[in-house]
Structure 1
């Protein structure tokens, strides 16, 4: 099985946040399984308790929810080489308020809650490593998100391309438009104007 990313990539990412010896790494890997999702499948659904922490080997995911007008709002994307989880809801095992959906056919490495807790109870510094990973993910999300609030639509689109250079040809424009807070027609116009 040849994926864009590998288990090794996941371990290398984790090792940026703390030290693990070979025994700990082997233990970690013994708890992981590969999950394949088809385009539009959900990794996590609103109203249900999230089941997994996932590392994206291949594919793109989006976080989305429905607003009070029943419009679907995409508010974040996660691609290869990153963890994807509704962390707060997963850790406290309460129902999620949003969806995590595969935008493309995807392959992920997943940890279920029981195994994730077992890793915490077995690997001494795991809580600290986990906290640092979560902090990095949140910081990245804020960096990719915050400029979008104050800019005009064209600048937001250019910022999106900057933040997610590999995504523009891989995800439906309707999701990009929703993420940017513009209509699909506006997005098409913006794209025509900057070509």
Structure 2
């Protein structure tokens, strides 16, 4: 729980009663590897904070291939936030790549804190902006060659490389698993 509070305090000040209110508004969950935090075809209903483990955001393309859009590791928010806010059905999945521990706000709890904590909306908006920025900024640049995309991946996700299957990384980079193996061999 301390890691969540430390994360939130990066974005604004809270007094002890506000911190206690946040702690009372969340639940801790564990997801086994392969279990979904959020699924396509459903309206997202929660915001998570990753305490331990790695999640991946992914979707199916028009050819039915699963495409990894992002990885979400410790000390990061996990949410399909645009669809949560707009109460729309998601087209993406958020799935545990490893066994995970999360601290979770229901949508009602997440939004309800605005009524009890004067600066919550500002803090919440800053957290969401960072979350959205990280997801958009960390996507591979299609115009880069595969080796450059891989090096960028290592820079952006150093903690993920040894924790998730190579097929997810290959999918994220837009290369085959065999190509990724060659790239890794040539760079090492």
TM-score bracket, shorter-length normalisation: over 0.9
**1:102 equivalenced with 2:96 (yes/no):** yes
Cα offset for 1:121? 1.7
* 1:189 aligned partner: 182
- Corresponding residue to 2:151 among 158, 173, 183: 158
Query: 1:23-77: per-residue Cα shift (whole Å, max 9, x none)?
Result: 0010000011111101010000001011210000111000000011101000100
Cα offset for 1:92? 2.4
* 1:58 aligned partner: 52
* 1:31 aligned partner: 25
3-state SS of 2:101 partner: strand
- Unpaired runs of 5+ residues, structure 2, are none
Task: State the aligned residue count.
Answer: 188
Alignment partners' CA distance in 1, 2:142 and 2:11:
30
* 1:112 aligned partner: 106
* 1:3 aligned partner: none
Structure 1 length-normalised TM: 0.93
Cα offset for 1:143? 2.6
3-state SS of 1:46 partner: coil
Structure 2 length-normalised TM: 0.96
- Unpaired runs of 5+ residues, structure 1, are 1-6
**1:170 equivalenced with 2:163 (yes/no):** yes
* 1:121 aligned partner: 115
3-state SS of 2:8 partner: helix
* 1:4 aligned partner: none
* 1:67 aligned partner: 61
3-state SS of 1:81 partner: coil
Cα offset for 1:157? 0.6
Alignment partners' CA distance in 2, 1:104 and 1:120:
33
- Corresponding residue to 1:9 among 3, 6, 9: 3
**1:93 equivalenced with 2:92 (yes/no):** no
